[in-house]
């Protein structure tokens, strides 16, 4: 029997990318199992999505710790306890410390609403509009110590239209995110991703 990879998602907000992964696990596209939602926000809508799907939730509330070191110690313990093979940052609004990044090197991916390395950090869609970019999109990448700097797994493009505002562009990018992230997770679960320096190679089935 083939081993099914265990997936945990770390999210801070509404969790639409979390839902996209859950749906593609449920329909068999992703050959894995979603074992945990971890959130730093006790009011995140992602919690309701997890409960609706029967997925255990761990709330590690940042505001209940005296500082980042104590918070990340608890977060790391929760991650370890989940036993996940892959951790997905899906709308997680904090930068992870080096200990966690090193511990899960090659086993943690992030989804970002821009074509990296352009427009890293917050409000990437607004950055693209302000810069006058003609093409925007999303990037799924492995997580390293930098902000949105890890090796790129998948990118999807979205044309920027003349009448776009931040909300309209964000909505179209999000549609692409909901396809790109499950595809990257599927490839990971099939052991088809190999990191070679800055390049992520996709191996044949």
Residue bearing tokens 């309701």: 48
3 state SS of 3: coil
Q: Is 185 exposed, middle or buried (0-12, 13-18, 19+ CB in 10 A)?
A: buried
- CA-based torsion, 45, 183, 32, 95: positive or negative: negative
Angle at 92 between CA 131 and CA 164, to 5 degrees: 30
**Catalytic residue selected from 102, 112, 123, 141:** 112
What letter would DSSP give residue 59? E
Question: Any catalytic annotation for residue 112?
Answer: yes
Q: Which residues are catalytic?
A: 112
């Amino acid at each position: 029997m083939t081993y099914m990879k265990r997936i945990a998602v770390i999210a801070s907000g509404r969790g639409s990318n979390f839902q996209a992964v859950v749906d593609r696990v449920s329909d068999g596209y992703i050959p894995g199992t979603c074992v945990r939602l971890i959130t730093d926000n006790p009011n995140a809508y992602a919690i309701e999505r997890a409960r609706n799907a029967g997925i255990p939730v761990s709330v590690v509330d940042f505001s209940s710790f005296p500082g980042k070191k104590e918070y990340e110690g608890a977060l790391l313990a929760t991650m370890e306890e989940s036993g996940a093979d892959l951790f997905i940052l899906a709308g997680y609004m904090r930068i992870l410390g080096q200990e966690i990044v090193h511990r899960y090197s090659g086993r943690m991916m992030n989804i970002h609403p821009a074509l990296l390395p352009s427009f890293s950090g917050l409000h990437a869609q607004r950055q693209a509009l302000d810069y006058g970019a003609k093409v925007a999109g999303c990037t799924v990448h492995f997580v390293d110590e930098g902000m949105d700097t890890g090796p790129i797994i998948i990118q999807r493009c979205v044309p920027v239209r003349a009448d776009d505002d931040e909300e309209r562009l964000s909505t179209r990018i999000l549609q692409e995110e909901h396809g790109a992230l499950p595809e990257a997770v599927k490839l990971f679960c099939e052991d088809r991703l190999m990191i070679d320096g800055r390049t992520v190679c996709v191996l044949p089935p």
